[in-house]
Chain A
Amino acid sequence: KNEVEQSPQNLTAQEGEFITINCSYSVGISALHWLQQHPGGGIVSLFMLSSGKKKHGRLIATINIQEKHSSLHITASHPRDSAVYICAVNRNTDKLIFGTGTRLQVFP
């Protein structure tokens, strides 16, 4: 069993829909990251959080430490949001442990 699990693995949406991607982890963590990877492209950091909630534009990330769960929400989704979204954690070290990613496709 992976230490970091994401759901769903694949997600399709119509433009304008509200999207939620979930991340669960089985170990104690120091920080959790949400990352975005476009096809053939590099990885961009969206959020790093260790408690509560963060918002940047149409993106919102929340974390519940007690339940070992985080969610990434996208409001008013757009085709340019189509990408792979990856959850990753720090476990008292600097290296990241990654989930397998959620592939999102938003259709116009």
Chain B
Amino acid sequence: GAGVSQSPRYKVAKRGQDVALRCDPISGHVSLFWYQQALGQGPEFLTYFQNEAQLDKSGLPSDRFFAERPEGSVSTLKIQRTQQEDSAVYLCASSPHRVLRYNEQFFGPGTRLTVL
């Protein structure tokens, strides 16, 4: 079946521009995660949804970052007034309903954002 997809794969923005990054999780997956990966670093947590509820947004670096998942499926990460330090790969992951305490996460290919 189809995996997690993200679009666009690459985005170049001018400083100050708003961007929207989309994630299509695996169908039926309850949990959805956004991570930010700077060049040469491991990913860092941004935010987490269970269905449409945003349960944890502690990793969002500023109020310029906003995420939503209105129908509990597709999610959008929006960055307003982009800055150069926002340049990174943005990864989306989904995981199925929690039967066990923790589940394997399935990652999308990422969106590489470059802010000029």
Contacts and interface: CB of A to CB of B under 8 A. Distances in A.
B115 to A, nearest CB: 19
A99 to B, nearest CB: 5
Contact of A96 (B4, B41, B105, B109): B105
Interface of B: 4, 31, 33, 35, 40-45, 48, 50, 55-56, 59, 91, 93, 95, 98, 101-110
B42 A98 contact: yes
A31 B101 contact: yes
A95 B58 CA distance: 11
Nearest to B6: A42
Contacts of A31: 101-102
Contacts, number: 64
A45 interface: yes
Given A42-B107, A44-B107, A97 B102 contact: no
Contacts of B101: 30-31
A35 B42 CA distance: 11
Contacts of A42: 4, 91, 107-110
Interface of A: 4, 30-31, 33, 35, 41-45, 48, 86, 88, 90, 93-101
B88 to A, nearest CB: 13
Contact of A86 (B42, B48, B95, B98): B42
B55 to A, nearest CB: 8
A44 B107 CA distance: 7
Given A94-B31, A95-B59, A101 B42 contact: yes
